[in-house]
Amino acid sequence: METLVMNRPTRNTLWGCLLVLILAEFYSCDARAQERPFQFITLDCLFRGQLSTTIEQGKLATTVPKDTLAITLSNFDYDKHTAMMIGNAGSDEVSFIPSQKKAVLVQFSKTGNGFMTSVSEPIGGKAIAFHSRHSWLFGEPIISEYQADCKVRK
C-alpha cells in the first residue's frame, strides 16, 4: 500500500482552496438573503393621500377624499410568487412580483376589478407603498390612488 505524502505548500494550497469555497458559499448565502428583502416580514401600511377619479355628467372628475386605508402585507413567498394582503374587507392571497429594491402585488376581485400595490424594500424598519384601485361600479370607472408609510412589524 502506497502512502500519499503531501509537502507543506500542497497542504496550504488545499486549505486555501477550501477556505475560498467556504467564503464563496457564505457570501452567496448573504447575497441570496439580500435578494429576498420581504421574506419573513410583515408590513403594516397606512395609506393616505387618496386621489379618486370618477365620471360625473359624462366627464372625468377627480377628488381628494380624506379617508385612510390600512393594509397589512405578509407571507411573501418567493417560490410561489404569492403574498397575503389583509385590509378592511378581509384578506386575500395576491400575486407577488419581486424586483430589485421593490415588490409589486397584483390582485383581482371576484367581479374583475384590479388592484396593484407597489412597496419599496424595507430599510431601517420602514418602507413606502403606493396602492392603485381600478374598479367599475354600474358601468362607471372608480379609480383610486393611495400612498403609504409602512412599518415592519416587530
Whole-model pTM: value is 0.69
- H/E stretch holding 19 reads helix 8-34
CATH among 3.30.379.10, 3.30.70.240, 2.40.160.20, 3.40.640.10 for 43-152: 2.40.160.20
The per-residue pLDDT string of the chain (154 residues; one tens digit each, 9 = 90 and over) reads 555 444 444 444 544 444 444 444 443 333 344 578 787 789 999 988 777 887 777 787 888 777 788 999 999 998 999 999 998 878 899 999 888 889 999 998 888 888 999 999 999 999 999 998 888 888 888 888 889 999 999 7
What are the tens digits of pLDDT across the range 12-50? 454 444 444 444 444 333 334 457 878 778 999 998 877
Cβ burial of 42 (10 Å; 0-12, 13-18, 19+) is: middle
And the C-alpha cell for 38?
420581504
